[in-house]
Amino acid sequence: MAVFLWLMLFRQTLYPHPWFDEGLNISTAAMLARDGVYALPDSAGLRLIDPAIQTGPTVLGATALIFKLFGTGLLQARLVMLPFTALAIVSIALLARRLGGNKAAALAVLLLLVGSQEPYLSFVFMARQVLGEVPAIGFYLLALLLWLWAVAQPKRHWLALALSGLAWGVAMITKSQVMLLTPVCLGALALLDGLYYRRAGWLAFILPGAVAVSCVAGWYAFQIAVLGLEQFQENSRVLREGFLLHIVGLNPAHWLNAAHSVWRSGFWLWGLPGLLWGMAQARQRTALGFAHAAALALPIVGFIWFALFSVGWSRYAFYTAALAPIWVAGLAVDFLRGGLLSHRRLNKPLLLTIALGLYIAFHGWPMAKELLAPNDIGYEDMRRYLATQVPADAVIESWEWEFSLDARQPIHHPTTPVTNAYTNYLMSGHPRPVGLYDYQQANPDYILSGPFAQWTGIYDPELKDARLVARFGLYYLYQPRPSNAR
């Protein structure tokens, strides 16, 4: 428990740095807490249930409640992740113990907490931010554990099956990618069970599936009630554009992005062998083999989607990377027991200790370095400057959503279609968007440029003639030319 709390709380607001996606989430939660509206704040008007909000009401509602009780702030927001992270860790440990025993469970948790060279494949890095991946994994695995217990009973335990469907439904509305992957995972498992394992039966899939679909349908019904049909259809159109880009975009550039992520993380060396070992265990037509197959559904389906269909962001492989330690640990324990390489002269404990030490040193060092000596990028200093030195009625143009958490000034942001267009440019090899977005229509008094705007280059032409007012770390505050100012 002490290690868990240290990993989650030590220098919490400095690592990771707040950024675009987390800013979307905490800004929405702040609006919900302050005005009771599920929307992104913007000087041009609230963006109700904007398609850019890809983390669901389970996380944002809890964050809004904390804001109501304890005030608005980055630390308060990130503390919300503690119970979600605990659920995910306990669920992974229980699943690893079910598949490989106590030693495998302990080793799986250790590997999980060490993480990876690639930050967005590292559990602790993701758990320290207000994002939907870690909570979604926790709910998904809770559902899986309930479901495996239910199908193993001599008589069908319908309540447990229904509760598993509820947990799957909550996972699906918690994170948009899990909404896509869960039906595919359950469908593939149902097909395998019908053709090979014959252990669960169709009703064991139909009941939880119906409950999960009902949860998702309820969430969309709520959106229609809030937005009205016309705005819901417009949001759906924008969401479909993002879906075709991020989710099912068959593009060689995306495949290269994914390959780079797998290579940088070393997952091909440490994660894939574990998954292959798990697949070998799943060949057994036993209760244990079936449990392996059920647990492998998400990491394998997720990896296929990430490598072939997604835009190739490292973060999209998180589900696979977070669950792979279950089978890496199982492989290690099997090696110790003599299931692999049973040569008597091999000092297996020594070999495994060396391998584990190298893994911890190589993959754990980046996180340890950031925790012990974090790099301050100037977020808090710029927040204070905006709060004390910039007039409250000044309009700020910015693509750094993290400042919309509690800025007293109205901030104008590029829209979600603009985000999709720049993603196409940066990740898919498409031409740079020209003439798509004109920030001058908002008549801003200031332009706030940070890591995301600098990555996209959206304000670069305008900033050449702008006056630098303040700089803190990676954040720059400019005043546009007098002819363009409000």
pLDDT tens per residue, range 413-432: 999 999 999 988 988 888 88
Question: Is 367 contained in some domain?
Answer: yes
- Check pLDDT > 90 for residue 241: no
pLDDT band at 341 (very low <50, low <70, confident <90, very high): low
Overall residue count recorded for the chain in this entry: 486
What SS3 string covers 105-153?
A: HHHHHHHHHHCCCCHHHCHHHHHCCCCCHHHHHHHHHHHHHHHHHHHHC
Q: Is the pLDDT of residue 352 over 90?
A: no
**350 vs 410, residue with greater confidence:** 410
* Rounded Cα distance, 237 and 232, in Å: 9
Task: Report the SS3 class of residue 41.
Answer: coil
Res 291 pLDDT > 60: yes
- Provide the pLDDT for residue 438: 87
The pLDDT of residue 344 is 64
Q: What value does the mean pLDDT of the chain take?
A: 93
Residues 278 and 425 in one domain: no
Q: With a cut of 70, say whether residue 143 has pLDDT above it.
A: yes
> Does the pLDDT value for residue 98 go beyond 80?
yes
**pLDDT for 486:** 46
Same domain, 321 and 438: no
Co-location of 331 and 264 in the same domain: yes
Last residue of a domain, one of 331, 356, 372: 372
Q: Are residues 105 and 225 in the same domain?
A: yes
Count of other CB atoms within 10 angstroms of residue 340: 12
Q: Give me the domain span that covers residue 416.
A: 379-479
* Domain end among 372, 389, 416: 372
Do 306 and 163 share a structural domain? Answer: yes
Determine which helix (DSSP H) or strand (DSSP E) holds 445, and give its type and residue range: none
pLDDT (tens digit per residue) in 165-188? 999 999 999 999 999 999 999 999
Amino acid at the residue 184: V
Pairing relation of β-strands 47-48 and 39-40? Answer: antiparallel
The number of domains in the chain is 2
**Cα-flanking dihedrals φ and ψ of residue 55, to 5°?**
-105, 140
Average of pLDDT values for 280-309?
96
Residue 46 resides in a domain: yes
User: Does residue 121 form part of some domain?
Assistant: yes
- pTM for the model stands at 0.94
In a domain, 485, yes or no: no
Q: Give the residue from 316, 341, 372 where a domain finishes.
A: 372
Q: What are the b/e assignments for 347-384, b being 16+ CB within 10 Å?
A: ebeeeeeeeeeebbeebbebbeebbeeeeebbbeebbe
Same domain, 350 and 383: no
Assess if residue 484 is contained within a domain: no
pLDDT at residue 190 greater than cutoff 90 = yes
Same domain membership, residue 403 and residue 368: no
Residue 63 predicted with pLDDT over 70: yes
pLDDT of residue 483: 57
pLDDT-derived band of residue 340, with 50, 70 and 90 as boundaries? low
Token output for 282: 């799943």
Q: What is the pLDDT of residue 339?
A: 62
One domain for residues 97 and 182: yes
Round to whole Å and give the CA distance between 128 and 77.
10
333 plus 395 within the same structural domain: no
Both tokens of residue 422?
A: 């720049």
Beta bridge partners of 411: 396
Let me know whether 316 and 212 are in one domain. Answer: yes
